[in-house]
Amino acid sequence: MKSEIKKLKYEIRQARNEYHSRFAEHDTYIGYGTEYFIGNKFIGCTFSSLPDREKMMWDGKKVHIATTDIKVKNRTIPAGTEYWTMQFPLTGRRDK
């Protein structure tokens, strides 16, 4: 039963990533958001106009070790702490 649930979750994640990769071929993104986590705790999110990785969402997860203090909004990731990031595309229209 547990293996079936894991398999279904994996298939859902693959389908979601495939769906998002279809849009990557078109210029529909207005930017990219990067979420920061320590363990499973959400720290914050930053936004940029260019991606810093090829794969998005969960498949593009990167593990880092902070060499200096990193300020994310009003929180700080201390130097020497292991954290991970996940990037996602922002869709929609820009305000004029």
Residues 6+ apart with CB under 8 A from 82: 38, 63, 64, 65, 66
pTM: 0.63
Region of 80 on the Ramachandran plot (φ > 0 left; ψ -120 to 50 alpha; else beta): left
Joined tokens for residue 24: 């990557």
Domain ranges of the chain: 2-91
Encode pLDDT of 28-76 as tens digits.
677 888 888 988 888 888 888 887 777 778 777 888 888 888 888 888 8
Joined tokens for residue 59: 């498949």
Q: At 92, phi and psi to the nearest 5?
A: 130, -160
Q: How high is the pLDDT of residue 23? A: 54
